[in-house]
Structure 1
């Protein structure tokens, strides 16, 4: 069976997309863009060297651009303190009293949770903010000044 060059490039792009779906590697989609560009170049009548150059320039450029874009974004904080991962971060709770070991039982979301005070935070009753979640413990800081 004879396959045209553009068909070969389209099949290769499809394989790259399928591999991305299987692995979750977004860079493979950028590589697939380069393969699709080579398919378009083949349809426009470019010879094999032109198709390869098009695949390399578009695919490599897309990978480089995506990598540069990722580096420009600020790094996410630790998962235990990241509000994008845990919706409890930043929520307010009321602490009636702290125990000697700097822990307390606090009502939150219709249940009673065990909380501990963040290091260097004063053990005062009142309103506190969830700074982190460690397992099923809330790590609290005083809400004053926040």
Structure 2
């Protein structure tokens, strides 16, 4: 097996490993290894192949790290329906007292507070945020 084939085999293994991890960093290293394969195909020496693979891999990783794909999304877990399944749920409020109420929700009593722009009227409300044992609601 020639040098350029070896570089591509290792790059292929990293691409497969990246499919299992879900990150793009292994893919960037695989791009660097592909650059090493191109250098080997062009007849470069072993150290030059390694240097080109390392340089391209480092640059690709740095570009990825600075992009929006390199950083995890920072979302407020109290408002994220993927984290808290209560978001979007409905509660019925009989009466309000100073913007607060107590309701029965999922078999337990919860404190309920009005969210921004919500009106304190008796009726159905939609849960928009969960802060500890308080449900922040908006008009349904």
What range describes the TM-score normalised by the shorter chain of this pair? 0.5 to 0.7
Where does residue 92 of structure 2 map in the other structure? 95
Where does residue 139 of structure 1 map in the other structure? 135
User: What CA distance in whole angstroms lies between the structure 1 residues aligned with 2:79 and 2:7?
Assistant: 45
User: What CA distance in whole angstroms lies between the structure 2 residues aligned with 1:94 and 1:22?
Assistant: 41
1:125 aligned onto 2:122: yes
CA displacement at 1:132 relative to structure 2: 2.5
Structure 1 residue ranges without an equivalent (≥5):
107-111
RMSD: 3.9
What is the TM-score normalised by the length of structure 2? 0.66
Where does residue 29 of structure 2 map in the other structure? 31
User: What CA distance in whole angstroms lies between the structure 2 residues aligned with 1:31 and 1:104?
Assistant: 54
- State whether residues 4 and 40 of structure 2, in contact with CA within 8 Å, keep that contact through their aligned partners in structure 1: yes
* CA deviation profile, 1:79-127 (whole Å, cap 9, x unmatched): 34124656874x4846341589933247xxxxx8876414898864245
Structure 2 residue ranges without an equivalent (≥5):
none
What is the TM-score normalised by the length of structure 1? 0.64
